Amino acid sequence: YDDRDGNIWMDGQLVEWRDAKVHILTHALHYASSVFEGERCYNGKIFKSVEHSERLRKSGELLDMPLPYSVAEIEAAKEAVLKANGLTNAYVRALAWRGAGEDMGVASKRNPIRMAVAAWEWGNYYGDAKMKGAKLDIAKWRRPDPATIPHAAKAAGLYMICTMSKHAAEAKGCSDAMMFDYRGYVAEATGANIFFVKDGEVFTPIPDAILNGITRQTVIGMLKDMGVKVHEVRINPGDLEGFQQCFLTGTAAEITPVGQIGDYTFEVGELTRRVATDYEKLVRA
Ligand code: PMP
């Protein structure tokens, strides 16, 4: 994967794909001092690009590692990467981390904050069966208390339990896992937000312990424009019984209908299909 042609933007310049490397004593590798973004470029334009750049900077601030690049500089870096690699439909990964330096302990103020942007072609996150309804496992790991880790940061450290949950899900033949939060309320999937439909109205968790996804916010706006009632509420495990439809939202996942979570089943209904179609139109507009 690393030995291929192409260019990656690193610390202010484009470098050869195969030369985009870091030292083994990189602080982030030892202590998860790393934040990132996942973005999608459609027909030459990154959807909500500025929002992603802003979130990257905010994630850095939340982890006490302010990025040395402005939103405009990050925007320019992404443009440069897409152009250098001749990509018009692609997934874009921006990453910022504490590098190697004077400090090898937990405190790392003397180590440089570094940044990179890569982009590549990436199709459906859940494969070709996307519109058939994904099967979700119920994760044993819970989204942590915001007093434990800043939940609004898209921080690498938050993803360890996601990786473990997704591995466990895949071992059971599921494509993802739904996670509860530290209180036991329905939270999100390992890389996407979750929505439910009941009698034409939409229910989704309050984003007080989850990532308030850019796609999530877009979809809530779309639904409200359609005149659909959206309830941001606490969802108990037992509430799953009463929901008729379920879908995931995320930059990579886009709108992915869910057919099953544990023993609960859902139909890929009309509202879910409409959200998927309208989102597809919006990102390509
Ligand atoms: N929750 C988690 C844990 C995620 O990793 C993502 C993907 N960034 C999302 C939700 C969806 O966020 P967005 O719509 O901004 O991609």
Each residue of 243-255: pLDDT tens digit?
Answer: 999 999 999 999 9
Q: What is the DSSP string of 78-131?
A: HHHHHHHTT-SSEEEEEEEEE-SSS--SS--TTSPEEEEEEEE----TT-TTGG
Ligand 1 atom 1: residue of nearest CA: 192
pLDDT band at 125 (very low <50, low <70, confident <90, very high): confident
* 152-161 mean pLDDT: 97
- Spacing of C-alpha 45 from chain mean position: 18
Q: Is the ipTM of this complex over 0.85?
A: yes
From 211, 214, 249, 256, mutation site for ligand 1 pocket: most ligand atoms within 8 A of C-beta: 211
Question: In this predicted structure, what is the pLDDT of residue 67?
Answer: 98
Ligand 1 atom 4: residue of nearest CA: 191
Average pLDDT over all residues of the chain: 97
Question: In this predicted structure, what is the pLDDT of residue 154?
Answer: 98
Ligand 1 center from residue 169 Cα (angstroms): 18
pLDDT band at 126 (very low <50, low <70, confident <90, very high): confident
Instruction: Report all structural domains of the chain as residue ranges with CATH numbers, in order of start.
Output: 7-120 (3.30.470.10), 130-284 (3.20.10.10)
pLDDT over 90 at 131, yes or no: no
Single-letter amino acid, residue 255: I
Task: Report the share of the chain in percent with pLDDT over 90.
Answer: 95
- How far apart are the C-alpha atoms of 179 and 190, rounded to whole Å? 7
- How far apart are the C-alpha atoms of 255 and 195, rounded to whole Å? 10
Q: Which two tokens stand for residue 210?
A: 């989850």
Q: Which two tokens stand for residue 20?
A: 């985009």
Is 135 near ligand 1, meaning CB less than 6 Å away? no
Active-site pick, 154, 172, 198, 229: 154
- How far apart are the C-alpha atoms of 190 and 208, rounded to whole Å? 16
Q: pTM above the 0.95 mark?
A: yes
To the query of whether residue 154 is one of the catalytic residues in this protein, the response is: yes
- How far apart are the C-alpha atoms of 171 and 137, rounded to whole Å? 10
Whole-Å CA distances, 235 to 132, 193, 196, 198, 214: 24, 13, 10, 13, 21
* CA of 39, closest atom in ligand 1: 16
Ligand 1 center from residue 144 Cα (angstroms): 16
Each residue of 17-74: pLDDT tens digit?
Answer: 999 999 999 999 999 999 999 999 999 999 999 999 999 999 999 999 999 999 999 9
pLDDT band at 175 (very low <50, low <70, confident <90, very high): very high
pLDDT over 90 at 130, yes or no: no
Ligand 1 center from residue 105 Cα (angstroms): 30
Q: Which two tokens stand for residue 213?
A: 């996804």
Each residue of 68-123: pLDDT tens digit?
Answer: 999 999 999 999 999 999 999 999 999 999 999 998 999 999 999 999 999 999 88
